[in-house]
Amino acid sequence: MPSIEIESVRSEIEAEREWREAEVRMLKNIINGLNHENQKAIARKALVVMLYSHFEGICKTIFGIYISQINSLGLTVSEANSSLGAASLDDMFFALRDPLKKCPEFRNSLPDDAALHRFSRDRNFVEVTKDLEKRSVILKHDRIADTESNLKPVVLKKILYRLGIDPAIAEPWEGVVHRLLRRRNDVAHGTARGGIDEEEYEKLEVAVRSVTDAIVIAIDDCIREKRYLRVTAA
C-alpha cells in the first residue's frame, strides 16, 4: 500500500508559510518606520486584513497539499476512510439526488412523475453499486477545501469533517478565528474608524500562528497514522 511522504508535505507547507510570513513582516517593518503612533495604529488596519487573507490562504493551501497527496496514492474507495470515499463519489450521489434527472423510458410520457423518476435514479444506483468500491479516490479541491465567503470556525470544522478528521479539534480555535474575522470585517466594511494598537495586533498574529500550527499537526498525525485509510476489522 503506497503511503504519503511526510517530509515532502512538511517542506511544501513550510515553503508556503515562509513567503506569507515574510510579507507580513515586511508590512510590519514599514509600519514601525512611521513617525507617529496614531499613523501606526491606522496602518495596522491594513495589516489585519492581510493577516486574515494569509490565514485563509495558508489553511486552504495546507488542506490542498494533503488532498493532492491523497489523490496521488491511487487508492480505491474500498481502501480509503469513509469520508474520503464518500467525497470521491460526489458525482454519483449528486446524480442520485438530482430531481431533474429523468427516467429515459418515461421522460416524455410521464415528465412530472417524481416518484417514478426517483425510483429510476435508485435503480441506476443499485446497478453500479458493485463497482463503487473499485473506483479511484480522486478528491476535488474546491469541493473539499471550500473556505466559502469567510473562513469561520464552523467552515474549518466542515473541511476537517470532509477529510475524515475529527472536527472537534477546531473547538479551541473558535475564539481566535472569530476575533480575527470580526476585526477584519470591521476594517473591510469601514466600521473600524480607530486604529489597532500594537498589543492587540500582536495577540492576533500569535493566536493565528498557533491555529496554523495546530492544523499542520493534525495533518501530520493523519499522515503518520495513515488515517486516510479505512479501518478494517481484525
Q: Please provide the average confidence, as pLDDT, over all residues in the chain.
A: 89
Note the pLDDT tens digit of each residue in 178-190. 989 988 888 877 7
Reported as half-sphere exposure (CB side, CA atoms, 13 A), residue 199 has a value of 0
168/160 Cα distance (integer angstroms): 9
pLDDT of 193: 75
pLDDT of 232: 62
Note the pLDDT tens digit of each residue in 84-127. 998 988 888 887 777 788 888 888 888 888 888 888 888 888 87
Residue 166 predicted with pLDDT over 60: yes
Query: In residues, how long is the chain?
Result: 234
Return the sign of the alpha-carbon dihedral for residues 222, 151, 29, 19.
positive
Minimum mean pLDDT range among 91-105, 162-176, 192-206: 91-105
Say how far residue 58 (Cα) sits from the centre of its chain.
10
55/63 Cα distance (integer angstroms): 12
φ, ψ for residue 229 (rounded to 5)? -95, 155
User: Between the CA of residue 61 and those of 17, 104, 141, 145, 179, what are the distances in Å?
Assistant: 10, 42, 10, 9, 22
Per the listing, cell 412523475 goes with 113
Q: 59 with 148: CB under 8 angstroms?
A: no
List, in order, residues 6 or more apart from 2 with CB less than 8 Å away. 73, 74
